[in-house]
């Protein structure tokens, strides 16, 4: 009995001592500190940023993501005692919550109704503080979004600052408000508190004046707190391992049509074995080429390179020998990892020769596998959780090569932080969970296929099903029928072709499809809605942004736009003479590249300095939805008027939808430039096009008088139109070489 009492006294003394430490460390009242101690010890809370919230000058509104029943108790322990906490009815009545409820002022409200704002405005104007708990919804429904409007209105009337708070890891708690299949439960996950600097609504709007309404400015700031709840300085290997810890090492994470499925543990074991071999023939920080299809092997190799602190240079094997040689030389690649079976099956002997001509040697995965010993496998099994080399998120992780549709391809250098930030930006905007299955048919050498289709599922626990080619129009619907994906990535061209060959049930498992790289046609969107009940959400990106810049969501979407800017990104529009209601898009954000490597300065990183000029002409509505008007290089200046060549292409496509078309601008002595249509339509007639243009309300300047008929439109390996070659073809056919 005495021993028990002594032990109990010791525990109480330790509790009191830790409470005293917390009181002075965070500036809490003693009772707050005592009731905070259990959270601090149980969840190893990272709480340094809570001082930002405590020190925020009143009037202030703390906007807290309500992921679990824990947040109200935690915030009552940590926020200033004069804060008025607006609780949901369950928290307001829960018996276990009673000790924490006594720490501050609380009122209950019915989430079905908007706040009674006049009373709250009076509280704030008296230098008060409010804590508002908003539902944890990446894509809030109309009812939830009304709460954002109410908070915005109250903040503006009281001139109050907003402080968003997000408790990272709370979704995994047993008291989580998220279903267990979407957030696997853990008794004592490590938690960290993400707190952003106080800002008024006016200050939030001023950050992106071209694209924010008041409520959307608050919503975007709230999403930023979720984004920065992730430690973007972890490095990709550690971020993937963190995901394995959250969902379990036995959680199936990748699968292909040949090798089958691998869980996280097997993924890391295989990656470590490969990484050891890569480490032996390359140097830390060296660019190592990956010449592999969408299959388990490319993910194992990528994670192995990340573990060994090598830079994965993704080789576009469809770009042609000349481009591959240029890529190898530009990035100073000395070793390229590939597979003999893949090279033979895809008939890529010319690409292998191009790699060797660039000065690189091939490292064959078949040879690596045969050299692996039982001791290697045992070591990897025991040490799979640890990377081979120290990880640094600020260092380069991946090199991607731009398509060069309008000029010479460049090597884009992306850091671990760039890629992880972009994946987490997408996760903060689109609802996904470990209950999802993502079908990725886009090649990993393409930025969309790499970040969205590979890195995003790896760091979020979404199972990834890899298919080696997006061109298998008849097979992919059958794969979807068997794999039962809930999410899919694609382009309009690919999606339209899949729909033509698919049976009605093939894509019935899909919740939504993310489409990019080209505009989604209304008919493609319609067929997926009607036949498969799947929503196509259109986005926009560029390799230099790792790549996603903006995206619609299933709930917050607007057809014909590419959605709203991702959290933590800023944009500005540069006016363009001759174009009204739009401007040249410049971007800044944590996902913007480290810089370029170019052929004239191989191996040398040319850092991005400040804002990035995308070269895209866009318009933005008051809700922040972005519409792409065209590339700056895809506008022609005719008699002083700016004409979008992309808009002309859409006009032509509407008239002859079964054919392929490209519109280019060529020199004209009288008017500066003129528009030429290059088309596969044998019966294309200028008069018919002119008549159709008038009916569609198009200006006469938009209608090409010159039509060049070809059997095929020149394309790049990525499938995009090669406008450089198309323009040269048009100039040659029209006899304008001297003028060009």
Q: What is the DSSP letter of 658?
A: T
Q: Any catalytic annotation for residue 113?
A: no
Q: Check if the beta carbon of residue 506 is closer than 8 Å to that of residue 478.
A: yes
Q: How many CB atoms lie within 10 A of CB 145?
A: 18
> Which has the closest alpha carbon to 264: 542, 458, 548?
458
CA 392, CA 594: separation in Å to the nearest integer?
Answer: 14
The 3-state DSSP class for residue 289 equals strand
- The CA radius of gyration of the chain, in Å to the nearest whole number, is 28
CB-based contact 264:458 (threshold 8 Å)? no
Phi, psi (rounded to 5 degrees) for 517: 75, -30
Integer Cα distance of 575 and 223 in angstroms = 29
Give all strands (DSSP E) within 145-215, no chain letters.
161-168, 192-195
Max Cα distance, the chain (Å): 104
**How far does CA 430 lie from the centroid of its chain?**
9
Of 728, 693, 738, the C-alpha closest to 708 is 728
Which secondary structure element, helix H or strand E, spans residue 362, and what is its range?
strand 361-364
What H or E segment, with its residue span, contains residue 576? Answer: none
**What does 138-153 look like in DSSP terms, one character per residue?**
SS--HHHHHHHHHHHH
Strands 335-338 and 595-598, by their bridges, are unpaired
Distance between CA atoms of residues 378 and 372, nearest Å: 11
The one catalytic residue among 66, 416, 446, 661: 66
Which DSSP state fits 624? -
Residue 457 phi/psi, 5-degree rounding, is -65, -35
Task: State the Cα–Cα distance between residues 460 and 473, nearest whole angstrom.
Answer: 29
Q: Which residues are catalytic?
A: 66
């Amino acid at each position: 009995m005495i021993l028990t009492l002594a032990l109990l006294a010791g525990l109480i003394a330790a509790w009191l001592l830790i409470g005293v430490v917390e009181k002075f460390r965070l500036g809490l009242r003693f009772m707050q500190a005592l009731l905070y101690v259990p959270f601090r010890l149980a969840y190893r809370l990272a709480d340094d940023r809570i001082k930002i919230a405590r020190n925020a000058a009143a009037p202030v509104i703390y906007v807290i993501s309500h992921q679990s029943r824990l947040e109200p108790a935690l915030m009552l322990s940590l926020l200033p005692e004069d804060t008025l906490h607006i609780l949901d009815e369950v928290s307001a009545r829960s018996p276990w919550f009673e000790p924490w409820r006594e720490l501050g002022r609380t009122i209950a409200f019915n989430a079905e109704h908007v706040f009674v704002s006049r009373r709250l405005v009076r509280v704030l104007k008296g230098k008060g503080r409010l804590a508002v708990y908003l539902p944890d919804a990446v894509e809030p429904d109309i009812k939830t979004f009304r709460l954002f409007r109410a908070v915005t209105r109250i903040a503006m009337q009281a001139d109050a600052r907003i402080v968003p708070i997000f408790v990272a890891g709370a979704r995994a708690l047993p008291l989580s408000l998220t279903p267990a299949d979407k957030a696997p439960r853990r008794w004592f996950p490590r938690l960290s508190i993400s707190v952003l600097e106080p800002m008024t609504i006016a200050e939030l709007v001023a950050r992106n004046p071209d694209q924010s309404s008041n409520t959307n400015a608050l919503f975007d700031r709230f999403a930023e707190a979720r984004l920065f709840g992730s430690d973007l300085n972890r490095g990709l290997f550690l971020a993937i391992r963190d995901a394995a810890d959250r969902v379990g090492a036995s959680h199936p994470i990748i699968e292909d049509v040949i090798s089958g499925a691998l869980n996280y543990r097997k993924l890391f074991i295989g990656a470590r074995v490969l990484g050891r071999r890569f480490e032996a023939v390359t140097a830390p920080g060296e660019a190592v080429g990956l010449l592999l299809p969408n299959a388990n092997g490319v993910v194992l190799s990528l994670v192995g390179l990340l573990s060994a602190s090598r830079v994965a240079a993704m080789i576009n094997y469809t770009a042609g020998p000349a481009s591959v040689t240029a890529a190898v030389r530009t990035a100073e690649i000395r070793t390229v990892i590939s597979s003999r079976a893949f090279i033979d099956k895809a008939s890529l002997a010319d690409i292998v020769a191009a790699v060797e001509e660039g000065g690189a040697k091939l490292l064959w995965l078949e040879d690596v596998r045969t050299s692996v010993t039982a001791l290697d496998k045992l070591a990897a099994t025991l040490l799979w959780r640890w990377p081979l080399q120290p990880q640094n998120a600020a260092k380069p992780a991946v090199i991607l090569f731009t398509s060069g549709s309008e000029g010479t391809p460049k090597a884009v250098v992306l850091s671990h932080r760039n890629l992880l930030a972009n994946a987490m930006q997408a996760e903060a905007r689109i609802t996904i969970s470990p209950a999802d299955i993502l079908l990725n048919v886009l090649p990993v050498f393409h930025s969309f296929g790499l970040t969205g289709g590979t890195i995003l599922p790896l760091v979020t626990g979404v199972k990834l099903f890899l298919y080696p080619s997006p061109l298998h129009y008849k097979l992919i619907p059958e794969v979807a029928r068997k794999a039962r994906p809930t999410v899919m990535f694609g382009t309009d061209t690919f999606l339209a072709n899949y729909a033509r060959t698919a049976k009605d049930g093939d894509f019935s498992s899909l919740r939504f499809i993310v489409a990019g790289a080209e505009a989604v046609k209304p008919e493609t969107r319609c067929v997926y809605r009607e036949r498969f009940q799947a929503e196509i959400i259109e986005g926009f990106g560029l390799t230099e942004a790792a790549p996603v810049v903006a995206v619609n969501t299933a709930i917050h979407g607007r057809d014909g736009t590419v959605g709203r800017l991702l959290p933590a990104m800023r944009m500005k529009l540069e006016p363009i003479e001759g174009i009204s209601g739009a401007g040249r898009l410049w971007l800044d954000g944590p996902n913007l590249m480290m810089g370029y490597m170019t052929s004239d300065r191989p191996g040398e990183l040319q850092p991005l300095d400040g804002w990035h000029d995308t070269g895209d002409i866009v318009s933005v509505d008051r809700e922040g939805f972005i519409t792409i008007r065209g590339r700056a290089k895809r506008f022609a200046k005719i008699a002083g008027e700016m004409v979008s060549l992309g808009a002309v292409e859409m006009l032509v496509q509407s008239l002859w939808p079964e054919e392929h078309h490209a519109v280019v601008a060529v020199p004209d002595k009288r008017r500066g430039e003129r528009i030429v249509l290059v088309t596969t339509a044998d019966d294309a007639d200028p008069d018919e096009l002119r008549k159709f243009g008038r009916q569609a309300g198009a200006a006469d300047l938009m209608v090409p008088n010159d039509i060049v008929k070809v059997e095929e439109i020149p394309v790049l390996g990525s499938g995009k139109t090669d406008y450089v070659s198309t323009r040269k073809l048009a100039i040659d056919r029209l006899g304008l070489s001297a003028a060009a």
